[in-house]
Structure 1
């Protein structure tokens, strides 16, 4: 395994255990079995290391979503699959890493800009899907495709925030609400057919 990959794997483990504020590059290096200087060589430091980890995982997951939404299944089934992917993304730690970096971006403009760029890739994908829905349904009512993409993206992002807080009632409420959108999409598809 490449040194940079070992560092990112170690960084994920440490980040999930300690959060971004408590993340120590020394601990990451020790866990990866590499000299601390390798973190600085490959990533420039803590921020670069975590952003590289987030960027790598973000690219994989956006690619997964693009492939899923490119399928010929009904749109409601593809959206339902997106809801299933949420469980995978929570279990992998991606959602936690993303949320840690969102929080870090509140006080670090460079982090904020990089996180916003990553989130834009999700919004671009959702807007493409919303344009498909608009073509199929004939209209999205008072909403543009960009409006729908923003609303769905924010529903997932906000829902992930609440799920990470660990309250079972909120977790079930979020999951149920996101899944009920499937029923709306299905009804719209069936009425358009």
Structure 2
């Protein structure tokens, strides 16, 4: 097995174990057994179990931040972009990305190296959302009495909170948290309609 194949096998094994048993139950021995490699290879390629799982998180996060950046950089209405972002949440819950992110967030409460890396992940998402909100604001979209930064903070908290509730199993079959997030899209659409009506008045 080549070095790149060994790393891929280790990352895949770590990902599966976190999704199955959680970060707290993860050990480099379990990962080595799952990947079919000597335990020394994990320490050689990744160092600690924290660095290993953070490598899993960062590998997934890089592609997802790029996906969100492409989404919000488009010309479609913000309400349509929001709808697709909610669709992506469903996808990310299904893929396991959200579980891994929240496992690392919880671990970061007591492990500074993990907490610092998770904050970098959230900084990346915040930058994407802030750019999108500023572009919307420049087009005339208003967020009530909230500044762009306040709106982004609340949106981030809403998604993180919804994810946590869903992962904890409290959502139930009625999907109230996901529905509530989608309802924000209707508020955005109403603001877009208001702006379009004003623009029509000016043209008339």
Q: TM-score range by the shorter chain?
A: over 0.9
TM-score normalised by length of structure 2: 0.90
Structure 2 counterpart of 1:186: 189
CA distance in 2, matches of 1:171, 1:8: 35
Structure 2 counterpart of 1:149: 152
From 152, 175, 179, the counterpart of 2:178: 175
Can you list the C-alpha shifts for 1:93-131, whole angstroms capped at 9, x where unaligned? 111111111110111111111101111100111101110
Structure 2 counterpart of 1:42: 45
Across the aligned residues of Structure 1 and Structure 2, the Cα RMSD in angstroms comes to: 1.4
Deviating runs (4+, > 4 A) in structure 1? Answer: none
CA distance in 1, matches of 2:174, 2:6: 37
CA distance in 1, matches of 2:147, 2:174: 29
Can you list the C-alpha shifts for 1:122-161, whole angstroms capped at 9, x where unaligned? 0111101110121122543322211111111111011000
Asked if structure 1 preserves the Cα contact closer than 8 Å seen for 2:82 and 2:185, the reply is yes
Partner of 2:144: helix, strand, or coil? coil
- Unaligned stretches of 5+ in structure 2? 197-204
CA distance in 2, matches of 1:128, 1:168: 31
Asked if structure 2 preserves the Cα contact closer than 8 Å seen for 1:75 and 1:185, the reply is yes
Structure 1 counterpart of 2:201: none
Asked if structure 1 preserves the Cα contact closer than 8 Å seen for 2:141 and 2:191, the reply is no
TM-score normalised by length of structure 1: 0.95
- Unaligned stretches of 5+ in structure 1? none
Asked if structure 2 preserves the Cα contact closer than 8 Å seen for 1:162 and 1:171, the reply is no
Structure 1 counterpart of 2:199: none
Can you list the C-alpha shifts for 1:47-66, whole angstroms capped at 9, x where unaligned? 00001111111111111111
Structure 2 counterpart of 1:117: 120
More deviation, 22-31/44-53? 22-31
